[in-house]
Amino acid sequence: MKTEIDKQIVIVTQLDDEQCIESTKEKLNEQKIRFNKHLKTIPELYSQDDDDDDHNSEYIDGFRMKCRFMKSNHMLLFTNEQDRLIEITEPTRRHPYIDVHKHYPINSFDLCMLSIRLTHKSMSVNDWWTLFKTLITTSNVDSNEKQIQLLCAPAFNLPLPKQIALQSACLIEFYEKFKTTIFSIYRPSTSSLLSTISHITPAIQLSFRPKILQWFDERIQNHKRLKDLLNNNCLCLVACGSKKTSFQYDFSLIEFHIIKQFNASESQLNILVKKFAMKYLHCSLDNYFLRTTILWICEIHDLENYHDIFEVWISFMRDVCRKRFLEHYFLENVNIYERHSGLEDIINTVDYKNIDLFVEKLEENLIFPYFHQYNDRLKNLIKFFESQPVLAFKMKVIYNVIVKSKFFNADNSLHEMCSILCHLSFLEDNDLGHIIDFWSQQWKPLFINFDRDDIVLQQPSVGYQPDQLAQQMTTSVFKLIQIDLNQMINSIQSNP
């Protein structure tokens, strides 16, 4: 089971002299960095032994920087964890990042949770509540994320709200009756591990505005919101290209600051485009081409003045697809257009007559870390039940009895029933030839059957559908598996 790739930039040092940057004149946006006195004090960049090598040590060797970074204390931020297998791939000249693979055992989830409860049984309710608040203190989270956080409560020795516990139990009961069907048509994975991949990119941050940003700076100098970026020097150079000394400008941190400033309408468009990519395009949610379209629209248009913000994006995309041209957001006259299968056909089917329904259907989709695998599994399962109408009818009858009575907005559709089975199946894949019964044998005893009288958590939302709760249950487990609870407890106890 693999999740979406996480991307992080780590600043190795800062550069304050543009004279050190020279174009290779071989490829667009390919630079090399000449050493100065400061850069030679950075161990990831320079060692006295470098002067004895055959190659020219006048410029920073980006490949060597990545190799040294991989062995430096910087990597402890990503590898200093217990109870998980961590693999680090060797850096390459072509890619600016180092891959860190983490594998979390699903089979021992209940043992980890039980061990933490027993080890820290002297902690008070207030202590556990304080610890739990470190997980949920995130501003501007939507109701879906709040529900995911709430489902993590029993890991912090806090009971689930009664309604969630009751509804979760009925989903597990329904799933147990039909899960063999999904695994009869979809072969389980060869591992009982949750695997994550992080792209860790060492970078040299510029503490000045380089000439390459001149076009961007001229555009934003009078922009109501973006002009503040003129005082924010966060452009980076990352090591990748045709030679060991090759570097490229990386604009990720600038983009992060722009997106962080988005108003409500811009944030809504950003989410809608991600949901569009998730539903119609087989690409990353963080696709650079799609992200650039959002940046351009949010610069050109004041979306708060538009009734249908998604219609603005559709109109923009029609023009992009027709011209086969999308200008790089920071580099003038650079086309970054990407051809995506089916994109143009989908864009052309949306018009002012059906756009409201189109957006309504998009908003029904949730963003979660295994969405591509889920879509494939759901498609196959629905196809199977459509070919077995008797079995599908039997499932619907049982669903009415077990699930529908507990959810006032369940729609009883084949899609909803199959969606529940798919979401819950991702934690039951196993390499031993049998299903591991995660939900009934691990999660249910520790999360649903766990109860206490001295504290009651309030349930913030009730208007969710059954398959949405199934997604939240699975995603909350992914979140918990990746958290080092013992480390969190020790940190709280050492800083009373």
Sequence-distant (6+) residues with CB within 8 A of 366 are 144, 468, 471
| Same domain, residue pair 278 and 333 | yes
The C-alpha atoms of residue 239 and residue 250 are separated, in whole angstroms, by: 10
Identity of the amino acid at 181: T
Is 166 a member of any domain?
A: no
| Same domain, residue pair 379 and 339 | no
Is 418 a member of any domain?
A: yes
Is 480 a member of any domain?
A: no
Q: At what angle do helices 309-323 and 355-363 cross, to 10 degrees?
A: 100
Is 180 a member of any domain?
A: no
Long-range contacts of 379-382 (CB under 8 A, 24+ apart): 380/185, 380/186, 381/181, 381/182, 381/185, 381/186, 381/418, 381/421, 381/422, 382/414, 382/415, 382/418
| Same domain, residue pair 284 and 211 | no
| Same domain, residue pair 244 and 267 | no
The C-alpha atoms of residue 374 and residue 427 are separated, in whole angstroms, by: 12
| Same domain, residue pair 425 and 358 | no
pLDDT tens for the chain, 496 residues long, are 566 678 889 999 999 988 999 988 877 788 999 999 999 999 999 887 776 665 557 899 999 999 999 988 888 777 766 667 788 888 888 899 999 888 877 888 888 888 888 888 888 888 888 888 887 755 556 777 888 888 999 999 899 988 999 999 999 999 999 988 888 887 655 456 677 888 999 999 999 999 999 999 999 999 988 999 998 888 999 999 888 899 999 999 999 999 988 998 999 999 999 888 888 887 777 789 999 999 999 999 999 888 889 999 999 999 999 999 999 999 999 999 988 888 888 888 888 788 888 888 887 777 787 888 888 889 999 999 999 999 999 999 999 999 998 998 888 899 999 999 999 998 886 555 566 789 999 999 999 988 877 777 777 666 788 999 999 999 999 888 888 777 778 777 666 5
The C-alpha atoms of residue 263 and residue 156 are separated, in whole angstroms, by: 34
Q: Please state whether the predicted TM-score (pTM) of the whole model is above 0.85.
A: no
Pairing of strands 193-206, 236-239: antiparallel
Last residue of a domain, one of 363, 388, 403: 363
| Same domain, residue pair 353 and 271 | yes
Long-range contacts of 172-177 (CB under 8 A, 24+ apart): 172/424, 172/439, 172/440, 172/443, 172/444, 172/448, 173/402, 174/398, 174/399, 174/402, 174/403, 174/417, 174/420, 175/420, 175/421, 175/424, 175/425, 175/439, 175/470, 176/439, 176/440, 177/398, 177/402
Is 84 a member of any domain?
A: no
**57 neighbors 45 (Cβ within 8 angstroms):** no
Domain of 301, in residue numbers: 263-363
| Same domain, residue pair 326 and 391 | no
| Same domain, residue pair 242 and 284 | no
| Same domain, residue pair 318 and 357 | yes
| Same domain, residue pair 243 and 330 | no
Number of domains in the chain: 4
Is 37 a member of any domain?
A: no
| Same domain, residue pair 374 and 422 | yes
